[in-house]
Amino acid sequence: METTLLILIAVVAAAAGAGLAFFLAQRNGGTDAELAGRLSQMAESTAAQQAQLAERMQAQERAITKMLEERLGDLGKKVGDSLQLSSTKTGETMAKLQERLAVIDAAQKKITDLSTQVVGLQDILSNKQARGAFGEVQLQDLVKAALPPSAYGFQATLGNGRRADCLIKLPNPPGPIVIDAKFPLEGYRQLVDATDETRETARKRFAADVLTHVKHIAERYIVPGETAESALMFMPSEAVYAELHANLSHIVDQSYGYRVWIVSPTTLMATLNTVRAVLKDAHMREQAGLIQKEVLTMMEDIGRLDQRVENLEKHFSQAEKDLREIRTSAGKITRRGERIGELEFGEAGPEEALAAPPERLHRVGQ
């Protein structure tokens, strides 16, 4: 476009020069004829130069156009390759994104299920009876995992008519020990949700709830002559147990005075392992009489065995003596046979020859 514009400008300038020359020639007549001729030549020269310039500009325009086309082609190819690579990477990214979205969907579903379960658990824990059943089930699982079936009983009725959540059957002393599950959740929740102004009041209420449970256990499940002199209070929450020991140690000390030991799932498992060792030792003591009787019988058997070994030794000694005597008799017989074989009878008779000493047998008859 710029080249065409330049050509048009050159043509217009040449035409203007020619018109100006003609105008001057007409105005000045012959005087300005020479000037008009020169202007005409200049116009023609300018037109020729403009034509050459136009050709050069066209040639440059074709070269530039070709170069631009080539570069545009290369650029288009690079852009196409880049778009293809980007499309491939985008596809891979989308595939990975879909996989991750699938994983997120699965996790979201699990979270939803867990939320439903948590809500259900909250509903359970909000009810005192359901919360008590929850603690009893956890207590039963721990006891069943640690002790043999003969060492415990659930919902056992005591002599005073009270029914214990669990009764550990230990021999005297100390005797059977009662474990009762308690879960003072309302007071603990109020303590957790309390502000700085209400925290102390909530802590006192929580301590009062725990101490009330301790007193009930001491009154109901410690029966003189029937159970041990102490009982266990099972808290099925490590958080509640930790709060009790961290900030309400005086309540724990008071529970010791009532002979009630507060335990959590972890500490109860350690206690039950100790109980199992005690039961094993008691069982061994029960079997001590039978073991002693068997040992005495075994000692009698050892005594009889010793007597029989002694008799066998006597038999061996007698047999050895008999063998020595047999060997002596055999030696005598052998020597007598040799003497008989060496006899040389002369003037002496056979009786005299046999009566002679062995070293003189060769001289008999001389």
Q: Identify whether 250 is part of a domain.
A: yes
Lowest mean pLDDT among 115-129, 143-157, 277-291: 115-129
Query: What local confidence, expressed as pLDDT, does residue 361 receive?
Result: 43
- 137-177, pLDDT tens digit by residue? 888 888 888 888 888 888 888 888 888 889 988 888 788 88
Kindly indicate the confidence band of residue 5, based on its pLDDT and cuts at 50, 70 and 90: low
Residues 258 and 332 in one domain: no
**Residue 173, preceding peptide bond in cis (omega within 30° of 0):** yes
**Residue 350, preceding peptide bond in cis (omega within 30° of 0):** no
Q: Identify whether 56 is part of a domain.
A: yes
The values of phi and psi at residue 155, to 5°, are: 55, 45
The tally of domains found in the chain comes to 3
- Is the pLDDT score of 348 beyond 70? no
Residues 268 and 337 in one domain: no
Residues 201 and 129 in one domain: yes
- Is the pLDDT score of 127 beyond 80? no
Residues 132 and 216 in one domain: yes
Residues 323 and 299 in one domain: yes
pLDDT averaged over every residue in the chain: 77
Kindly report the number of other CB atoms within 10 A of residue 204's CB atom: 13
In the block, residue with structure tokens 């005409």? 40
- Is the pLDDT score of 201 beyond 50? yes
Residues 6+ apart with CB under 8 A from 158: 164, 167, 178, 221, 223, 226, 227
Query: What local confidence, expressed as pLDDT, does residue 279 receive?
Result: 82
Residues 280 and 161 in one domain: yes
- Is the pLDDT score of 4 beyond 70? no
Comparing 247 with 26, the larger pLDDT belongs to 247
- 224-263, pLDDT tens digit by residue? 888 888 999 998 888 888 888 888 888 889 989 899 998 9
Residues 149 and 247 in one domain: yes
Average pLDDT of 5-30?
53
Alpha helices in 222-264 (DSSP H): 238-247, 249-257
Domain boundaries, position 19: 1-60
The values of phi and psi at residue 229, to 5°, are: -80, 5
Residues 128 and 267 in one domain: yes
Kindly indicate the confidence band of residue 15, based on its pLDDT and cuts at 50, 70 and 90: low
Q: Identify whether 11 is part of a domain.
A: yes
Half-sphere exposure of 240 (CA within 13 A, CB side): 23
Query: What local confidence, expressed as pLDDT, does residue 14 receive?
Result: 54
For residue 216, give the nearest of 126, 123, 132, 125 by alpha carbon.
Answer: 132
Residues 138 and 265 in one domain: yes
What span, in angstroms and rounded, lies between the C-alpha atoms of 314 and 363?
A: 48
Among 234, 260, 286, identify where a domain stops: 286
Query: What local confidence, expressed as pLDDT, does residue 3 receive?
Result: 52
Contact assessment for residue 265 and residue 238, using Cβ atoms and an 8 Å cutoff: yes
Q: Identify whether 83 is part of a domain.
A: no
Amino acid identity, residue 262? I
Which class for 143: exposed (0-12), middle (13-18), buried (19 or more C-beta within 10 A)? buried
Query: What local confidence, expressed as pLDDT, does residue 49 receive?
Result: 80
Joined together, the tokens standing for residue 232 give 């266990």
Which residues make beta-bridge pairs with 167? 153, 178
Residues 296 and 203 in one domain: no
Residues 136 and 248 in one domain: yes
What span, in angstroms and rounded, lies between the C-alpha atoms of 343 and 347?
A: 13
For residue 182, give the nearest of 143, 223, 230, 215 by alpha carbon.
Answer: 215
Residues 258 and 304 in one domain: no
Among 237, 260, 286, identify where a domain stops: 286
- Is the pLDDT score of 220 beyond 80? yes
What span, in angstroms and rounded, lies between the C-alpha atoms of 142 and 359?
A: 103
170-177 contacts: CB < 8 A, separation 24 or more? 170/228, 170/275, 170/278, 170/279, 170/282, 171/279, 171/282, 173/228, 174/228, 174/229, 174/230, 175/226, 175/227, 175/228, 175/229, 176/226, 176/227, 176/228, 177/227, 177/228, 177/230, 177/231, 177/232, 177/275
Q: Identify whether 183 is part of a domain.
A: yes
Question: CA 33 from chain center: how many Å?
Answer: 116
For residue 229, give the nearest of 260, 255, 252 by alpha carbon.
Answer: 260
- 74-106, pLDDT tens digit by residue? 888 888 888 888 888 888 888 888 888 888 878
- 305-327, pLDDT tens digit by residue? 888 888 888 888 888 888 888 88
What span, in angstroms and rounded, lies between the C-alpha atoms of 21 and 46?
A: 14
Which residues make beta-bridge pairs with 232? 179, 261
